[in-house]
Amino acid sequence: MIIALASDFDNTLYFHNTEERFYAQDVFEILFFQKRGGIFGICTGRSPDSVFDNIGTFIRPDFIISVSGALIVDGKGNVLESHSIAPAVTEKICREFEEEAEMVVHAGGHVYCFGEAEYPLQIRIGSFEELPQDAIYGISMRFKSVGAAAEAASLIREKYGAEAAPFQNVNHVDVVAAGCSKGAGAARVRELFGIEKLGGIGDSYNDLPLIETADVGFTFPGAPEELRAAADEIVLSVSQAIERLG
């Protein structure tokens, strides 16, 4: 039986507030899981280059479901599937919230920004025309509060729902093409890799589609109530999820 685990990245596998960033036990269990024939992947709102830059040589994923399901790549970064947002829709959404949120655009596997780059991997541009027009995968916006993010997600769903799907993660909102989600990405990975038993683990609202799609959904004791209700198992770590997945 082919067994796989798709793991959220930030605050599930990768931790900003710890010196080592990854828990040693998680890394060990992932490597041992893969050695036994298991398939391990990352499911995130980040772009592929951001994930590869942060995991270094610690973890070697078999797949990455990136930009909230809009772009799926294998462990070497080769594109397996992609879904883009129309350039005109991207520009409308960005302009609508440019005064309320800091934002970046995921396109062509990279991250573009219109102001000063916060991270070395971000590419600064001066206009929407500089984006790869046929490969705009998503928009990530950071609002000042959870409430503002919730209102923005609701507005995007109401005005652009036929073309774009918003996913809130605390005070962030990720926008991808309609029909995309972490769950849809996980379902596609199941087909691509012939997975017979799929586990999914995450900690926030945007992970709900992943948890609901998985055969075994995992989350944490401190996760939102909606995730805990949807999950099959409550665990303390990725390593514990792997142990229970089998």
Q: Cβ atoms within 10 A of the Cβ of 112, count? A: 21
The CATH number given to whatever domain includes residue 162 is: 3.30.1240.10
pLDDT computed for residue 100 by the predictor: 92
- Give the end of a domain, one of 177, 211, 227: 177
Token pair of 54 as six digits:
């942060």
Residues 190 and 170 in one domain: no
Q: What domain range includes position 51?
A: 3-82+181-245
Q: How many domains does the chain have?
A: 2
What's the predicted TM-score (pTM) here? 0.92
The C-alpha atoms of residue 102 and residue 152 are separated, in whole angstroms, by 13
Residues 96 and 170 in one domain: yes
State yes or no: pLDDT of 26 exceeds 90: yes
- Number of helical H runs and strand E runs in the chain: 8, 14
Residues 110 and 166 in one domain: yes
Summary mean pLDDT of the chain? 93
Strand ordering across the sheet containing 233-234: 79-82, 71-74, 63-66, 39-43, 3-7, 197-201, 216-219, 233-234
- Give the end of a domain, one of 177, 195, 223: 177
pLDDT computed for residue 190 by the predictor: 97
Looking at the DSSP assignment, which residues form a beta bridge with residue 66? Answer: 71
pLDDT computed for residue 119 by the predictor: 73
pLDDT digits (tens, 9 = 90+) for 74-111: 999 999 999 999 999 999 999 999 999 999 999 987 89
Residues 23 and 72 in one domain: yes
